[in-house]
Chain A
């Protein structure tokens, strides 16, 4: 494991812990956010037959770097009527919530922040801080539209957590583990062991599981998409209705923190889908490191596969964003309560029966 390796390397527990806890941020989330913001703009542009940013660097690859520098230089405005304490604390809380989720995500068999047994429940629980932060931001802004956006966000995230949790429960029933590391290890070897293809089961059980798993994958993908407030579920920050929801009043670095949290959340959610249904960090067809006998190559390959899967789902999120229009509030609630929740209950029931077989 990363921590043990660093501990043996540095000989200092605190230093090793420090590096392990900061590594996902500096080695992963920040570069990811930089790339994802650019990718979002490029994908959106090309889907609309435009070019997107083209001026800063070759084909605009340094655009986000320039934007970050601009955000850093900006004046940190705080309106007089805001609740200062909550206003300043909210972006931190939102970022904390999305960053803490990365603690339990296995980037590879070697690199997990914390190998806790309750991994998936920890992630679901700790991302609850995001709701609190968003509500806090909307309330403290003392602005009608911000508050409306925050209320919508809270309502939406809480509603959509139900189908998410039901599908997670289905997976837990099927595999008997809550640890994301164990979940990834179960789906090892070849891609037909991934849970989307019925998991490591045989015969009739696998055949019965495949359609259910595809359906539950779609459900969890949709509901987690709603949880990170992205189009078509972006009613909390609907630009055309609410200016931009709870982060209207924020500027400079605080706004950047919301932004960073949003993109970190996007990846966290994609990673959860990848871990639950697409084998996490497992390669779809064995490892080059194993066949060559270079054991050090395996974690690197695992990291590659994990990021590749995560980025693919992030791309699908962007793809959906530029395909579908925004839901109305009542449609949003109806979709959750009338379609996703009944379907996930039925899936839970059937999967429960299958595991009894």
Chain B
């Protein structure tokens, strides 16, 4: 009988204790963050969407090679003599036109491995994390600052230069061959220089 009464009283009393706890919590400020209007404080070294500052990019392809999921695609074109590409912010001279710099964020695993090898520190993590899209294609980001026509132009310039060089080379070779032939005709008893000439060709 005594046990019964004690149990009843304990039941009642512990309910009151519980009610006291919940009542206190009624006045505790809420921990909720009203997300889209109030953004949470991100940690200092959080990893989110990448950004490439193309002014500093020298097209060295190191980030692409460091990427474990191959989400960075880079194509570069050599500049032709006379073109001024400027320098990076840490004083490196740029020598390549970057005609393709695509990062596919559908593939990206946000490991930050591409950030460390960059010699000019032009690829880095931003604090943007709201970039959902309706199609996977639109998650491929193109960072190149050149217009599509310009890219074509640069490629064409380089190819023209190549072709010109090739033509010059062929012309030079022809000339050399002619000279050699002439020399052979003049001095047939000089095998050493003859070999050299042949090797060059």
In the bound complex, how far is the Cα of B23 from the Cα of A296, in angstroms?
38
Residues in B1-45 with C-beta less than 8 Å from chain A: 8, 11-12, 15, 18-19, 21-23, 25-32, 34
**A54 to B30 Cα, complex, angstroms:** 12
User: B138-161 interface mask toward A, CB cutoff 8 Å, 1 = contact, 0 = none?
Assistant: 000000000000000000000000
**Which residues in window 32-71 of A have CB below 8 A to B?**
43, 45-51, 54
Closest 6 A-B residue pairs measured CB to CB?
A: A51-B32, A323-B18, A51-B30, A323-B22, A47-B22, A46-B26
Q: How large is the interface on B (under 10, 10 to 19, 20 to 34, 35 or more residues)?
A: 10 to 19
A-B contact count (CB 8 A): 41
Asked if A23 is an interface residue, CB under 8 A from chain B, the answer is no
B92 to chain A, nearest CB (A): 51
Interface residues of A (CB under 8 A from B): 43, 45-51, 54, 218, 319-320, 322-324, 339, 343
The answer to whether A319 and B19 have CB atoms under 8 Å apart is yes
For the complex with contacts A46-B28, A46-B30, 4 further pairs of A-B residues with Cβ separation under 8 Å are A43-B26, A46-B27, A51-B32, A319-B22
Shortest CB-to-CB span from A348 to chain B, Å, is 17
Q: Are A324 and B34 in contact (CB under 8 A)?
A: no
A323 near B19 with CB under 8 A, answer: yes
Q: Which of A47, A218, A320 contacts B12 (CB 8 A)?
A: A218
A contact residues around B31 at 8 Å (CB): 49-50
Find A323's partner among B8, B15, B27 (CB 8 Å cutoff).
B15
CB distance from B118 to the nearest CB of A (A): 43
Partner of A50, one of B21, B27, B30: B30
Contact in complex: B15, A324 (CB < 8 Å): yes
Tell me the B residues contacting A by CB distance below 8 Å. Answer: 8, 11-12, 15, 18-19, 21-23, 25-32, 34
**Interface of chain B: mostly helix, strand, loop or mixed:** helix
B15's nearest neighbour on chain A, judged by CB, is A324
Which residues of A sit under 8 angstroms from B18, Cβ to Cβ?
323-324
Complex Cα gap A343–B11 (Å):
14
A48 B12 Cβ-Cβ under 8 A: no
Q: Which of B8, B21, B26 has the most CB of A within 10 A?
A: B26
B22 pairs with A49, CB closer than 8 A: no
CA distance A320 to B18 in the complex (A): 9
Residues of B within 8 A of A51 (CB): 30, 32, 34
Docked pose: A46 CA to B27 CA in angstroms: 7
User: Which residue of A322, A323, A339 has the most chain B CB atoms within 10 A of its CB atom?
Assistant: A323
Q: Whole-angstrom distance between the alpha carbons of A47 and B28 in the complex?
A: 8
CA distance A231 to B28 in the complex (A): 23
A51 CA / B15 CA spacing, docked (Å): 25
Known contacts A46-B30, A320-B19: A339-B25 contact under CB 8 Å: no
Shortest CB distance B7–A (Å): 8
Shortest Cβ distance from B33 into A: residue: A51
Q: Is the CB of A46 within 8 A of B25?
A: yes
Q: Which of B8, B19, B34 contacts A339 (CB 8 A)?
A: B8
Closest A residue to B7 by beta carbon equals A339
Which chain A residue lies CB-closest to B27? A46
Complex-state Cα separation, A277 to B31, whole angstroms: 39
Q: Chain A residues with Cβ under 8 A from B26's Cβ?
A: 43, 46-47
Q: Is the CB of B28 within 8 A of A49?
A: yes
